[in-house]
Structure 1
Amino acid sequence: MTEDTETVPNACPPLSEWRTLDALRAKLEAELFNLNKGVLLDALASAGVTHVVVTFDGYGDSGQIENVEVRSGDDAIPMPEGAIEIAQAVWGQSEPERSMVAIAAAVESLTYHVLERTHCGWENSDGAYGDITFDVAAHAITLDYNERYTATENYTHQF
Structure 2
Amino acid sequence: MTDDSSTPNSGFDSASWLARDQEFVNLCKSALSENKTALFDALANARIDTVEVTFNGYADSGQVDEAVIDGEGADADLRLIDIDIARVGWEA
- Alignment TM-score, normalising by the size of structure 2: 0.70
Which letter does structure 2 place at the counterpart of 1:53?
A: E
**Cα shift at 1:14:** 2.5
Offset from partner CA, 1:83-131 (integer Å, 9 cap, x none): 12221111128xxxxxxxxxxxxxxxxxxxxxxxxxxxxxxxxxxxxxx
The number of residues matched between the two structures is 82
Q: For residues 60 and 51 of structure 1, do their structure 2 counterparts lie closer, same or farther at Cα, with a shift above 3 Å needed? A: closer
Find the aligned partners of 2:59 and 2:41 in 1 and give their Cα distance. Answer: 36
Please state how far the C-alpha of 1:59 moved relative to its aligned partner.
2.6
Higher relative contact order (CA 8 A, sep 6+): 2
Higher share of residues assigned helix: 2
Once the two structures are TM-superposed, the CA of residue 60 in structure 1 deviates from its matched residue by: 4.9
Question: 1:79-90 alignment to 2 at 5 Å?
Answer: 79-80=77-78, 81-90=80-89
User: CA 1:64–1:31 in 2, change beyond 3 Å: closer, same or farther?
Assistant: same
Aligned-residue offset at 1:41: 0.6
TM-score by length of 1: 0.44
Unaligned runs of 5+ in 2: 1-9
After the TM superposition, which segments of 4 or more aligned residues of structure 1 sit over 6 Å from their partners? none
**% same residue:** 32
